Amino acid sequence: MAEIRSSLEIAMEKADRLGRVSKEELETKKWLDLGRRIAARYLQDKKKEFKGDLGGISGSTLPLVLKGATETLLRNIVLPKDEEQWSVIERALNGFMELKGSVANDIVFRIEQLLKKYKQTRDQYHTQLQSQMQSQLGGIQQAISEQYGMKIKLGDLDSLPEFKKEWARLSLEIKEQFEQQLIPLKAYLERL
């Protein structure tokens, strides 16, 4: 029994050594987290500016705080699913312009253009799919109306399972296409 116990003790000691985080790692994590919190507050409060929160941070820790803030801003630059996301995305892009200055203007403009084109493309494909479905269902609707001798309305196209399935497939294709263009732009923005 003593042998098993000593093996267990050895394993516990190894796990304890592996689980320890160095003081430098803790400091790094602390400053990265501060940067993330500053960026999150900036994104939530439309009146807040980065410069005010970054003013009291010393020179040696500032790069870590900026890295944490950059991570948070980048996570919020996404292909928008709806209109509500636009305000957060625009705020994140403005945050980069505030942090990086004029060097970020060109890349921020390119990202904005890509996101607008994404929305335009989604809207265009959605309208086209609605038209296709409407023409397909129009014939069915007319046949049913003639058969039963009364006018039948099939309802909202967006709620039909066939439409939902096809729109999900098309949406995913569009998203993947634009995501491939957004990834390098975000990477460039991160390196500024």
Evaluate if residue 180 carries a pLDDT over 80. Answer: yes
Residues 107 and 192 both lie in one domain: yes
pTM of full prediction above 0.85: no
Q: Where does the pLDDT of residue 169 fall: very low under 50, low under 70, confident under 90, or very high at 90 and above?
A: very high
Last residue of a domain, one of 58, 75, 92: 75
Higher pLDDT, 77 or 26: 77
85 part of a folded domain: no
The predicted model gives 42-50 an average pLDDT of 83
Is residue 57 located within the same domain as residue 122?
Answer: no
**Which pLDDT score is estimated for 1?**
42
pLDDT digits (tens, 9 = 90+) for 143-163: 666 666 666 565 677 877 888
pLDDT at 170: 96
DSSP 123-182: HHHHHHHHHHHHHHHHHHHHHHHHHHTS------GGGSHHHHHHHHHHHHHHHHHHHHHH
The answer on 71 and 18 residing in a single domain is yes
CB 113 within 8 A of CB 89: no
State the average pLDDT over residues 96-113: 94
Q: Does residue 90 sit within a domain?
A: no
Identify whether residues 122 and 187 lie together within a single domain.
yes
- Write out the residue range of the structural domain in which residue 12 sits: 1-75
Which of residues 35, 58, 75 is at a domain's end? 75
* Domains in the chain, number: 2
